[in-house]
Every structure is written in C-alpha cells, then in structure tokens.
C-alpha cells in the first residue's frame, strides 16, 4: 500500500466538527469495539491483540499483547493499567493530537485494555504542559461516566472500571514506566530497579501494565477490523531474524525541524525517511538539503543524509546505528546547521532531565554538556571528541551501567553525531571559532 492512497485510521476523525465529543464519536461508530470486547472473554481480547502484532508505540516497541500476558494468572486484589501520556521526548506530539482531536478513541482503547488485563482502575498519567488535553480528557471521562461507559457495570456487562486522570509535573523521567509509577505514587520519579517488573509489582505494589496513548488508540480498530487487517499494513517480520516481531499497523509520524510543512501524518509503518520528508512534509525548507535526521525523538540518535532511505519501522533505524524507531518523531536538520550546536542542545536537554539516580547518567550527561559548551566557546581540544565517545559508551542499560534506558537515550545522540559527523567536530575544534548560535550557554 503506498502512502498516498492510505486512509488515516487513528487520525481519521481529525478536523471533524466536535470530534472530541461522545455523540460525534458514537455517530462515527465509536464504542462498538468496546461492546464487542465486553461480549468476549478477557483472554480472547488478549489473543486478538497478540495476533495483530501490535507493538507498543511509546518507544521501546514491546509487543502489547505479550506484555499483558506477563500479569500473574491468579491474582487476588486489584490490577492497574497506567496510560503513559507523559509525552516528553523532544519532537514528539502524536499523543497530544490524539487526545485533543479524538479522546474517546483513546479512552475506548483504555476500557478495552483494562477489561483484557482485568484492571479495575486505570490511571491516565498526563504531562502537565498538556493543559488542553487535560480539559478535553476530563470532559470526555465525565461524558463516559454519564453514559455508563465507565463506572459500575459498564454497558450492562458486569465489568466495572474507574479512570483517574493524573497530571504530572513536567519531568522527562516520568515517561519511563517505573518512573511514572513512582511519580503516580507521589514520590520522586526515580525509575525502579527490575525485577520485579511492573507486571508483577507496579503501582502501589500491585500488578500493573503501562501502555502508551497511541497504543491505546490502536486497540478499538484492531477489535473492529480484526488482526489480519492490522497486519495488512506495515513491514512483516524478517524470516531470517527470529527475534524480529515485525512492524504492523498504522503509525503516527511527527515531523518537525527544517521542513516546509511540519506536522503529524499517519502512514503505514515502514515509510522511508526520505519519502516522509519529501512527500509528506514539503521537503527540506528553503530549498536546502538535509544534513541529519532524527528518526524517532532526539534520544534515538541521528541518521545522516545518506541513510535517509532507511524505512522507519521498528527495525530500520537500528540498522543504521540509531537506537530504534522510538516515538517516530522525525526531526530534520538542514545543512546550514552545525552538528556541534545540535549535539550541544541534545546534551543540554539530557543533563537537565537526568533524574540523577545513577552516577554514570547524572554526572556523564552534565559533563558532556560542559565539554560541548567549551568546544562551542572556541576552547575545544581534539581529545574531547574521544572523551565524549567514551562518556557516551559508558552510560546506559546496554553496557549495564544504569537502571533505566533513558541513559541510553542520552548516549545515542552523542555516539551517532560523533561517529557520523566526526570531521565536522574536528574542523570546528581546529578552527577555534565560537558558536554563533545563541543557544543558551550554561543554562542546563
């Protein structure tokens, strides 16, 4: 299926009048999937989701149905579902559009997922900055309670669910699932050591599933159209790689940076970065060429111009040295921009947002920012480049030196920027020039 013929699924109702209202959602066939799910057994719903090959849209791409099966079988007492709406990866805004434009789509997914996981309470963790989302969601949840879509005995099925809307306090780390849980519990959002994983001991020490907003939005469609329909989109699994779970379904791509037409587009998984930029974002701005492209949020690292034909599915960015697809937030950097400035900006963000629990991330992110600050001040040394590489390779869960994966996210922009644009760094340092960019020295 080519992108131009593709009819948006998740964004199908974007722009319709009152798209955030329950009556318009129902008129468009909303909540039929819920009725369908409630008529099934919870395990059958899990089977459908598993069969669809749906993978989490939050960044790591873990198979959603599989995650649900990790919950203990015979559990006494409550199970919780947490919705991760702490969308704070730079460049990412798909959750925001989904919530603002079509909150009931997400909420229907949440009720179905809660039913499937036997959760009786769902916590919607929303980043503080999303004020409009908060108000829209609040109204939508009220509408649902008023229409027996939430609360006791939903649609006469005997199943009951409460949704609590929780606003975060603007921290990147709350997007890490155990950091989110800690924050939800009222604590400092320091990610937990695992095991135990949240499925065994999560929020309030109860079995918990944490899912992304976009993942939830996919659920009603899978129930409505079936797993085969979902699998008809995207890139099938690589038969030569048993660990590849494939990249199925529609995906929201956030495009920002130096393009003519930034925005959110929905496409089947696996479009190449080049096609995405040229066909769906009006190309690089001002007639310039791209120098680097971030495939999925700044923590995934950079692709060079030569690598733009990489498909943006779960496996593609990894093949060119990026950390993964991440949130599919594509940031385009044109050839007039210095990679030193870009990397400095990324490092500054991570130094500011490092939760400070593990030594390597806490100190490493701040140190690399200081080094880049010095380089941008014309006082760099060629040895700084290797030092930056050494710092970046010594933080993260991949070498095993930190508790959570966000440190890997801090390391990857450093690694990829230096490995792919080393010459530019060397030239910058040798020239001894000072950055013309006004980007805030010392503000981390």
Partner 1 sequence: MAKVIVNDIEVEADAKDNCILAARKAGVEIPHYCWHESLSVVASCRMCLVEVGEKKPDGTVVMGPKLVPGCQTPVKEGTVIRTDSAKVKTTQQMTLELLLLNHPLDCSICDQAGECYLQDYTYKYGKAQSRLDEPKLQRVDKYHIGEQIALFTDRCVMCTRCVRFTREISGTAELQVVNRGSHEEIDVFPSEPCNNKLAGNVVDLCPVGALCSKDFLYKKRVWWLKNAGSVCTGCSTGCSIHVDQNEDKVYRLRPRENPLAQGHFMCDEGRFGFKYIHDERRLKTPKVNSSAVIDTNAQKSKTNGTSDLNFADPWLEVLSVTRTKIKEAIKTDARGFVGVLSPFMTLEEAYLLASYLKGLDKRVRLALGPVPVVGKDDKYPKGPKGESPAQEKVKFTIRAEKCPNRLGVEAILKHFEGEVVTLEQVASKGDSTAWYFVGGSSQGWVTEATDRAVGKPSLLIVQDIFPSPLSERADVLLPSATFAERDGTYVNHSGLAQAAHGAVRCPGDARADGRILMELAERKGLFNAVALRKEIALNVPSLSALAVGDLGDHGVGVAVAKKEVVHS
Cis bond upstream, residue 155 (ω within 30): no
Phi, psi (deg, nearest 5) at residue 263? 160, -170
- The residues in 372-391 that bind partner 1, with binding defined as CB under 8 A, are 373-374, 381, 387, 390
Sign (positive or negative) of CA dihedral 240, 330, 55, 19: negative
Q: How far is the CB of 79 from partner 1 (least distance, A)?
A: 25
> CB under 8 A: which stretch of 196-204, 240-248, 394-402, 411-419 binds partner 1?
394-402
Which H/E stretch holds residue 304?
Answer: strand 303-304
Q: Closer to partner 1 at the Cβ: 98 or 410? A: 410
Q: Closer to partner 1 at the Cβ: 141 or 171? A: 171
Q: How far is the CB of 400 from partner 1 (least distance, A)?
A: 3
Residue from 121, 299, 327, 401 in contact with partner 1 (CB under 8 A)? 401
Query: 103-117 vs 213-225: helix axis angle to the nearest 10?
Result: 80
Q: Closer to partner 1 at the Cβ: 225 or 370? A: 370
Phi, psi (deg, nearest 5) at residue 259? -125, 165
Is 399 an interacting residue with respect to partner 1 (CB under 8 A)? yes
Is 403 an interacting residue with respect to partner 1 (CB under 8 A)? yes
> CB under 8 A: which stretch of 3-11, 39-47, 207-215, 361-369 binds partner 1?
361-369
Sign (positive or negative) of CA dihedral 81, 86, 87, 93: positive
Cis bond upstream, residue 307 (ω within 30): no
> CB under 8 A: which stretch of 245-253, 264-272, 315-323, 360-368 binds partner 1?
360-368
Q: How far is the CB of 432 from partner 1 (least distance, A)?
A: 15
Q: Closer to partner 1 at the Cβ: 141 or 429? A: 429
Rounded-to-integer distance, Cα 257 and Cα 107, Å: 31
Q: How far is the CB of 205 from partner 1 (least distance, A)?
A: 13
| Residue 234 CB neighbour total at 10 angstroms | 24
Which H/E stretch holds residue 251?
Answer: strand 250-257
Residue from 232, 356, 419, 437 in contact with partner 1 (CB under 8 A)? 356
Rounded-to-integer distance, Cα 115 and Cα 97, Å: 25
Q: Closer to partner 1 at the Cβ: 65 or 405? A: 405
**Strand duo 162-167 + 208-212: pairing:** unpaired
Per-residue x/- track, 178-217, partner 1 (CB under 8 A): ----------x-x--x------------------------
Rounded-to-integer distance, Cα 415 and Cα 434, Å: 23
- The residues in 35-74 that bind partner 1, with binding defined as CB under 8 A, are none
Residue from 265, 355, 406, 417 in contact with partner 1 (CB under 8 A)? 355
Per-residue x/- track, 116-155, partner 1 (CB under 8 A): ----------------------------------------
Q: Closer to partner 1 at the Cβ: 233 or 351? A: 351
Rounded-to-integer distance, Cα 342 and Cα 344, Å: 5
Gap between the terminal Cα atoms of the chain? 45
Residue from 398, 419, 426, 433 in contact with partner 1 (CB under 8 A)? 398
Count of residues in contact with partner 1, rule CB under 8 A: 35
Q: Closer to partner 1 at the Cβ: 360 or 413? A: 360
Rounded-to-integer distance, Cα 236 and Cα 273, Å: 18
DSSP 176-226: SHHHHHHHHTTS--PPPPSSSPTTTS-GGGS-EEEEEHHHHHHHHHHHHH-
DSSP 111-140: HHHHHHHT-SEEEEEE-TT-HHHHHHHHHH
- The residues in 315-354 that bind partner 1, with binding defined as CB under 8 A, are 351-354
Is 87 an interacting residue with respect to partner 1 (CB under 8 A)? no
Residue from 133, 171, 209, 235 in contact with partner 1 (CB under 8 A)? 171
Q: Closer to partner 1 at the Cβ: 40 or 398? A: 398
Q: How far is the CB of 116 from partner 1 (least distance, A)?
A: 32
Of 260, 387, 253, 419, nearest in space to 325 by CA: 253
DSSP lists the bridge partners of residue 257 as 332
> CB under 8 A: which stretch of 83-91, 106-114, 318-326, 362-370 binds partner 1?
362-370
Q: Closer to partner 1 at the Cβ: 270 or 409? A: 409
Binding residues for partner 1, rule: CB under 8 A, are: 171, 188, 190, 193, 351-360, 362-367, 370-371, 373-374, 381, 387, 390, 394, 397-403
């Amino acid at each position: 299926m080519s992108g131009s013929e593709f009819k948006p699924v998740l964004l199908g109702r974007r722009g319709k009048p009152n798209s955030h209202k329950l009556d318009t959602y129902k008129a468009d066939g909303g909540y039929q999937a819920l009725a369908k799910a409630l008529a099934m057994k919870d395990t059958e719903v899990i089977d459908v989701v598993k069969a669809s090959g749906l993978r989490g849209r939050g960044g790591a791409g873990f198979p959603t149905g599989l995650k649900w099966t990790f919950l203990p079988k015979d559990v006494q007492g409550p199970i919780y579902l947490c919705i991760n709406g702490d969308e704070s990866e730079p460049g990412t805004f798909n959750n925001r559009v989904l919530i603002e434009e079509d909150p009931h789509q997400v909420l229907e997914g949440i009720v179905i997922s809660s039913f499937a996981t036997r959760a009786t309470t769902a916590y919607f963790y929303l980043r503080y900055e999303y004020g409009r989302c908060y108000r829209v969601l609040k109204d939508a949840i009220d509408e649902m309670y008023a229409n027996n879509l939430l609360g006791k005995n939903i649609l006469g099925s005997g199943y009951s669910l409460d949704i609590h809307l929780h606003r975060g306090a603007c921290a990147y780390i709350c997007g890490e699932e155990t950091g989110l849980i800690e924050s939800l519990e009222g604590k400092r959002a320091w990610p937990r050591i695992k095991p135990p994983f949240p499925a065994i001991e999560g929020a309030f020490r109860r079995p918990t599933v944490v899912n992304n907003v976009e993942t939830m939005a996919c659920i009603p469609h899978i129930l409505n159209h079936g797993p085969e329909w979902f699998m008809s989109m995207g890139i099938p699994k690589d038969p030569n790689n048993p660990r590849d779970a494939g990249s199925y379904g529609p995906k929201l791509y956030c495009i920002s940076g130096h393009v003519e037409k930034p925005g959110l587009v929905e496409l089947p998984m696996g479009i190449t970065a080049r096609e995405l930029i040229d066909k769906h974002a009006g190309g690089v701005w001002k007639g310039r060429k791209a120098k680097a492209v971030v495939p999925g949020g700044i923590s995934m690292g950079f692709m060079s111009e030569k690598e733009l034909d990489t498909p943006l599915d779960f496996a593609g960015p990894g093949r060119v040295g990026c950390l993964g697809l991440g949130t599919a937030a594509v940031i385009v950097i044109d050839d007039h921009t210095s990679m030193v400035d870009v990397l400095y900006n990324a490092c500054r963000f991570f130094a500011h947002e490092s939760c400070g629990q593990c030594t390597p991330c806490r100190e490493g992110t701040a140190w690399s920012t200081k080094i880049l600050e010095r380089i941008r001040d014309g006082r760099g040394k060629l040895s700084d480049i290797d030092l930056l590489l050494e710092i970046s390779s010594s933080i993260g869960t991949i070498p095993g030196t930190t508790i959570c994966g966000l440190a890997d996210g801090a390391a990857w922009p450093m690694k990829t920027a230096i490995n792919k644009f080393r010459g530019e760094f060397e030239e910058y340092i040798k020239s001894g020039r000072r950055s013309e960019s006004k980007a805030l020295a010392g503000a981390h």
